[in-house]
Amino acid sequence: MAASRSKPAAEEPNRRADIVRAAGRLFHEKGYSATTIRDIAGAVGMRSGSPFYHFKTKQDMLRAVVLEGLTAISTAVAEAAHSGKSPRATFEAMLRAHLGQLLGIEGRDFAATLLHETRHLDPAVLAELVTLKDRYESMWQKALKDLKRAGLIADDSQVARLFLLGALNWTVQWYRPDGSRTIAQIARQLADLVLDKPRGK
Amino acid sequence: MAASRSKPAAEEPNRRADIVRAAGRLFHEKGYSATTIRDIAGAVGMRSGSPFYHFKTKQDMLRAVVLEGLTAISTAVAEAAHSGKSPRATFEAMLRAHLGQLLGIEGRDFAATLLHETRHLDPAVLAELVTLKDRYESMWQKALKDLKRAGLIADDSQVARLFLLGALNWTVQWYRPDGSRTIAQIARQLADLVLDKPRGK
DNA sequence: CCTACCGATCGGTAGG
DNA sequence: CCTACCGATCGGTAGG
């Protein structure tokens, strides 16, 4: 409702955003519990007590990281979903968008924390996430429905969606930015694997 | 090489195994870093110093849990792989075996810790795991090769294997034992999704 | 396997 | 945003 802070001038460094970014990286690398406030403070050149000027608790930092991850990936995939291309091209664009957030340098720490540290969220924050998460997953369910209608897939069930998102989300475990495969290539290969080849072509 | 302890009598409770089981459950539920020695001791009715009679460090407990998880799933899937059935039936049996360890009540805490807490392993222990893990993954690679030779799949690449294992391993995030789907049903559905229907049938 | 304990470190706070 | 600090808790140990 009310603005929580006065508008920062263009030059003014956003220390809060710095903390969220550092927290995201450390939560991703070491996990939430193994990351200390002193780690985060050190990463942005502060003393140990200072992050609490920007966040009330460590839990609030996790909340900020996870929300950033979920809104970023939702926005990216929603854009791809509404691109108005063919079902196959739309689907592949959604795969690219999801993988781009998950594996790309700008978003991966937020997204990976979202995937792996939700266990440490307070119940209240968790409830806050569920709505956003349901909305995100329904985008994929709709995409599968469209693919089935186009005859490109046999199974558009919820389990099929869970398998698909599993294959996608597991890429975090094995993808290496300096490896031989680009994100677009991975998206293409997964689309080939999941989609039936149209008969008689 | 040498037996590390004298053979326990049949009646004698195996306290070491109790600790490993409790540690597995807690590592799965709360994560390695968030689990304390006192949590584990309490779960088996000991005082806080006593687990160190059985394990030198907390890290050694993690090592025991993770090794238990990897050897159990390897054994189960290897048995399915050598069952001598058709490629399709063998593949589906392997899926069931993997999912059985991952989601079944006897093995899931070990398997889930294996999947999610390896980050906290000391480099030396991690190196120890790699050989076993490579051997396990090569079993799946071989299964894909056989499926391709049988004309049941188009892509038997490493990335295809990673997608498949991703879909499998992600089930930990959504499977509920009291849900409507059995492990065998999930295995069947994934096989249907991955395998091409033979043409002209 | 317990008792009693150690040094280190943790999240968080008061007061500036 | 820093200084200085608090109470709690941690992994681990000595001695029995």
**A33: which residues sit within 8 A by CB, 6+ positions away?**
A120, B31, B33, B34
User: Looking at strand C, which nucleotides approach a protein CB closer than 7 A?
Assistant: 1-5, 9-15
Contact B166 A164 (CB under 8 A): no
Secondary structure element (H or E) that encloses residue A186, with its range: helix A183-194
Partner-chain residue, chosen from A32, A163, A189, that has the shortest CB–CB distance to B167: A163
The CA–C1' separation of A85 and D8, in angstroms, is 58
Q: Are B69 and B113 in contact (CB under 8 A)?
A: yes
Position A86 scores a pLDDT of: 94
Architecture of domain B57-194: Orthogonal Bundle (1.10)
Alpha carbons A60 and B63: distance in angstroms, whole number: 32
Q: Which residue is nearest to nucleotide C1 (CA to C1')?
A: B50
Measured from the CB, is B35 under 7 Å from any atom of strand D? yes
pLDDT exceeds cutoff 50 at B4: no
DSSP conformation class of B120: G
Instruction: Read off the tokens for A109.
Output: 């720490």
Position A30 scores a pLDDT of: 97
The residues spanned by each domain of chain A are 56-194
pLDDT tens digits for range B162-184: 999 999 999 999 999 999 999 99
pLDDT exceeds cutoff 60 at B48: yes
Alpha carbons A60 and A52: distance in angstroms, whole number: 10
Q: Could you tell me the sign of the dihedral formed by the alpha carbons of A64, A67, A73, A78, in that order? A: negative
Alpha carbons B69 and B24: distance in angstroms, whole number: 9
Q: What is the mean pLDDT of residues B137-143?
A: 98
Q: In angstroms, how far is CA B61 from the centroid of its own chain? A: 16
pLDDT along chain A (201 residues), means of 10: 43 87 98 98 97 98 98 98 94 98 98 98 95 97 97 96 98 96 97 79 41
Please state, for a pLDDT cut of 70, what percent of chain B lies above it.
92
Alpha carbons B35 and A28: distance in angstroms, whole number: 18
Q: Which of residues 20-49 of A touch strand D (CB under 7 A)?
A: 41, 45-49
The band of B2, judged by pLDDT with boundaries at 50, 70 and 90, is very low
The band of B198, judged by pLDDT with boundaries at 50, 70 and 90, is low
A13: nearest nucleotide, CA–C1' criterion: D1
Question: Side chain identity at A166, as an amino acid letter?
Answer: G
Contact A192 B155 (CB under 8 A): yes
Contact B194 A192 (CB under 8 A): no
B39: nearest nucleotide, CA–C1' criterion: D10
**Of A97, A29, A107, A105, which is closest to residue A67 (Cα–Cα)?**
A107
Helices A108-116/A87-103 angle, 10° precision: 90
Produce one character per residue of B35-54: b if its CB has 16 or more CB atoms within 10 Å, e if not. Answer: bebebbbebbebeeeebeeb
Q: Which residue is nearest to nucleotide C9 (CA to C1')?
A: A36
Alpha carbons B165 and B95: distance in angstroms, whole number: 10
The CA–C1' separation of A122 and C12, in angstroms, is 18
The CA–C1' separation of A51 and C10, in angstroms, is 15
Q: Which CATH class is domain A56-194?
A: mainly alpha
Q: What is the mean pLDDT of residues B121-128?
A: 95
User: Looking at strand D, which nucleotides approach a protein CB closer than 7 A?
Assistant: 1-5, 9-15
Position A11 scores a pLDDT of: 55
The CA–C1' separation of B33 and D8, in angstroms, is 17
Alpha carbons B183 and B197: distance in angstroms, whole number: 22
Q: Are B165 and B73 in contact (CB under 8 A)?
A: no
Q: In angstroms, how far is CA A133 from the centroid of its own chain? A: 10
Q: Could you tell me the sign of the dihedral formed by the alpha carbons of B183, B189, B195, B199, in that order? A: positive
Which residues are within 7 Å of strand C by their Cβ atom? A 35-38, 48-49, 52, 56-59; B 15, 41, 45-50, 53-54
On chain A, the residues whose CB falls within 8 A of the CB of B190 are 163
Picking from B193, B196, B199, B201 by the largest number of A CB atoms within 10 A of its own CB, the best residue to mutate is: B193
A52: nearest nucleotide, CA–C1' criterion: C12
Contact A116 B120 (CB under 8 A): no
